[in-house]
Homo-oligomer: A and B are copies of this chain.
């Protein structure tokens, strides 16, 4: 019998589950596979998390916590509005580039109507600071003449997310359609540049 380390065991299960759910979706993921990936006995999934849905939710909470953490670390205070929006767009793009599993997990969760997200007290408490940031930056930008009036901060937030998220989310089918590899560093650089450009040009007065 293995020496005990409950925290490490729990962690290994979460890491394995993250990979498995990203690869196979909730319905396709296999508890046996999660345990095998973690290198532990399958019963430990039930021991630590209770059931398949519960470990799935724990993974969702984890990936959301990551992106919220990144958002909190943005440090846009004191930047001129244009530089702030640019930084925000770039950071958002970079986070998605570094965490493609966030995207596929979210897509699968959305297909199921966000049932788990909606039932989570923890996620409910996990506000994104970004909308109020965007709102403040827009106001400052309008005041100093850098941005046009009348832009809704929620809509802009969604659009900034959309322009990067969709690219990563749909890279396989887009690559198939265009017959070129959008996963390449060059393609990602081009996309990042375009996203920044499209938004910044749109915000002009």
Q: How far is the CA of A176 from the CA of B107 in the complex (A)?
A: 14
Residues 164-180 of A contacting B (Cβ, < 8 Å): 165-167, 169-178
| B-side contacts of A121, CB under 8 Å | none
Query: Is the CB–CB distance between A195 and B24 below 8 Å?
Result: no
The interface residues of chain B lying within 8 Å CB-to-CB of A104 are 110-111
Q: How far is the CA of A82 from the CA of B171 in the complex (A)?
A: 28
- Given A28-B28, A106-B173, A176-B117, also A158-B148 (CB < 8 A): no
Distance in angstroms between the alpha carbons of A192 and B155 in the assembled complex: 10
Q: Which residue of B lies closest to A194 (CB)?
A: B155
**A202 within 8 Å of B by Cβ?**
yes
Q: Is the CB of A202 within 8 A of B198?
A: yes
Using C-beta atoms within 8 Å of the partner chain, give the interface range for chain A.
35 or more
B171 touches A162 (CB 8 A): no
CB <8 Å contact, B106 and A170: yes
Chain A binding surface SS class: helix
Is the Cβ of A190 less than 8 Å from the Cβ of B25? no
Is A191 in the interface zone, CB < 8 Å from B?
yes
Candidate in A28, A128, A190 with the most chain B CB atoms within 10 angstroms? A28
Assess the B170–A110 pair: CB atoms within 8 A: yes
Instruction: Give complex CA distance A108, B163 in Å.
Output: 19
A71 on interface, CB distance cutoff 8 Å: no
A158→B167 contact, CB < 8 A: yes
A54 within 8 A of B: no
By a CB distance below 8 angstroms, the chain B residues around A79 are none
- Known pairs A118-B176, A148-B201, A166-B166; list 16 more (Cβ under 8 Å): A22-B111, A25-B108, A26-B28, A27-B27, A28-B28, A117-B172, A152-B190, A154-B178, A155-B194, A158-B191, A159-B163, A162-B163, A162-B167, A166-B169, A169-B169, A201-B202
